[in-house]
Amino acid sequence: MRWRLAIVYRLRKGRGGKQKQQETCDIESIKGDKRINQAFQIRIRAAEFEKNLPFPNHTCNGDEELYPNKIASYSKGLPHNNLGEVDLDAYHALIRSLTTGNPADFEHIHLGGDRKLVNPQAALAFGLEGPDSHHLAVPPAPTFSSAEEASEMGELYWQSLTRDVSFTEYDANPITQRAAADLSGFSDFRGPKIGEQVTTGTLFRGETSGDLVGPYISQFLLKDVPYGAMTIVQRYRTTSPGDDCMIRYADWLAVQNGAFTVPNQFDPTLRYIRNGRDLSEYLHQNFTYQAFLNASLILLGMGSPIDTMNPYKNSLTQSGFITFGSAHILHLVATVAICALRAAWYKKWLVHRRLRPEVFGGRIHNHRTGVASYPFHSDIMNSSVLDVVFNKNGTYLLPIAYPEGSPTHPSYPAGHATVAGACATVLKAFFNETFVIPNPVVTSADGLLLLPYKGPDLTVGSELDKLASNFAIGRDAAGVHWRSDSIKGLKLGEAVAIGILTEMRSTYNEKFGGFSLTKFDGMTITI
């Protein structure tokens, strides 16, 4: 029996065995072929809109061409020599497969161990929602020898050294005080500052205004999550204090070649996220849009007001559900996540191919120990953090929170950050950003309790921005991403979500003035 998916009418046998058309029960004003044509025209207009946008220039930082030995390019998982420099034949095979796009060529990439590359062909995938992944651009990543890259590496070293310091103790802890002072001395550090100085109150935070207000961790990573007929308490498994990985050179080199190392040691007690180590492990185990699904459920559960532009805001007879209601919100959070990842993967594999921070740390170690020479900016070479790391671990390697180090795909932009930017943008479009979150909390220093927070009001918009930054910069705390990976990833995800919301404007029957939201740069827009 054959089934048709788009049946407009059915036939039935009448008396005498003849076929006749069954009368329709459809009472809408636009029926049959007119409806089909209208749906077709909406799709065509959306496609034409995307087609007619100027195609951006996808410029990279030039490091791949500048350094013939590819010391500044992503190569993890391929074979390397004892310096951690990639086998050039293997690298060229990777580039050949990315250039041709032929699936057979990807099967001829020479790996250095058991770990496989993560989905390079996703960079070539098409999507049917929002802008094509190739139609959005991010600026070039900082160059290997730049002052900006030096500052980002300095920040990563300090993040690794402060993983076990509770966020609530940053102001009083001598390590975080020293980190803030050292980062203030970098000539091109672009993290948030107060009076041109990094402070313990701005340390490792995001760049939106909401990031600097209240606790480091967003309320959406702390509050209970109403999950259907049950409640999820956000206490998570974390790793044991001091459980840092890849601090021995042999381990570092093995991981670059695609080997697996000894797994993490876990704390037997579940805890609320209280420090960089907890946040790193949460982002080690989470699924793509988990935090934003939870945020959606928290907002819906607390009765957070919908955005003032929502067409059902003042309706006397209707409420939203499939459009402009809970089902719509939950669907879009998942939809924009995969679209954001497609956009990030194109830039990772086909444009930038930026090396991971752990590799930069290996370069510093080999340079400092005199077995190689690399063109580092003097800011990182003169930073006190290198001696602190060496005195603690006996190497200049960047301590990583994960035994496998970074994932086996390029660094820029960060996938977690791009997802976060897209999902947060959707939630800001649907909920009233100015609503003050009731009964805010902060984690106790041991992560066992949630305590009442007392301080400036925390709004939905600011805490969604903070959640996005936690989601992005938390991966920096693990040592697997750079600050610019995270910040530029957030903005790419935002652009993805805005593109999807723009397309969807034409699909609604409701009288609708547009989605209103505040971007990460503080600009308020209506889509």
The residue ranges of every structural domain in the chain are 63-526
- pTM more than 0.75: yes
Banded model confidence at residue 11, pLDDT cuts 50, 70, 90 = very low
Q: How far apart are CA 32 and CA 398, in angstroms?
A: 63
Cβ-count burial of 4 within 10 angstroms (0-12 exposed, 13-18 middle, 19+ buried)? exposed
Q: How far apart are CA 337 and CA 496, in angstroms?
A: 9
Helix/strand/coil (H/E/C) assignment for every residue in 423-474: HHHHHHHHECCCCECCCCEEECCCCCCEEECCCCCCEHHHHHHHHHHHHHHH
Q: 325, 311 in Cβ contact below 8 A?
A: no
Report whether pLDDT(6) > 80.
no
Report whether pLDDT(445) > 90.
yes
Cβ atoms < 10 Å from Cβ of 476 = 29
Question: Tell me: the pLDDT tens digits for 120-135?
Answer: 999 999 999 999 999 9
Characterize 261-282 residue by residue with b for buried, 16 or more Cβ atoms within 10 angstroms of its Cβ, and e for exposed: beebeebeeebbbbbbbbbbbb
Question: Tell me: the pLDDT tens digits for 287-314?
Answer: 999 999 999 999 999 999 999 999 999 9
Banded model confidence at residue 4, pLDDT cuts 50, 70, 90 = very low
Query: For the chain, what percent of residues have pLDDT higher than 70?
Result: 95
What is the residue-wise DSSP string for 136-170?
---PPPPPTTSHHHHHHHHHHHHHHHTTTSBGGGT
Arithmetic mean of pLDDT, 485-504: 97
**CA geometry: angle 203, 204, 205, nearest 5 deg:** 90
pLDDT at 21: 57
Banded model confidence at residue 161, pLDDT cuts 50, 70, 90 = very high
Query: For the chain, what percent of residues have pLDDT higher than 90?
Result: 93
pLDDT at 16: 47
Question: Tell me: the pLDDT tens digits for 20-54?
Answer: 556 667 777 776 788 899 999 999 999 999 999 99
Q: How far apart are CA 55 and CA 322, in angstroms?
A: 34
**Encoding tokens for residue 40?**
């077709």
Characterize 401-433 residue by residue with b for buried, 16 or more Cβ atoms within 10 angstroms of its Cβ, and e for exposed: bbbbbbbbbbbbbbbbbbbbbbbbbbbbbbbbb
Q: Name the residue with tokens 């207000």.
A: 213
Give me the active site residues, please: 409, 416
Q: 187, 198 in Cβ contact below 8 A?
A: no
Report whether pLDDT(374) > 60.
yes
**Residues 6 or more apart in contact with residue 189 via CB below 8 angstroms:** 151, 154, 155, 183, 198
Which DSSP state fits 109? -
Q: How far apart are CA 147 and CA 386, in angstroms?
A: 16
Cβ atoms < 10 Å from Cβ of 254 = 18
Q: How far apart are CA 232 and CA 237, in angstroms?
A: 14
Arithmetic mean of pLDDT, 316-323: 96
Which helix (H) or strand (E) segment holds residue 225: the answer is: strand 225-227
pLDDT at 33: 83
**Residues 6 or more apart in contact with residue 428 via CB below 8 angstroms:** 460, 461, 464, 517, 518
Q: How far apart are CA 504 and CA 498, in angstroms?
A: 10
Between 1.10.606.10, 1.20.1270.10, 1.20.1090.10, 1.10.10.10, what CATH number should domain 63-526 receive?
A: 1.10.606.10
Q: How far apart are CA 191 and CA 155, in angstroms?
A: 9
Three-state DSSP at 476 gives helix
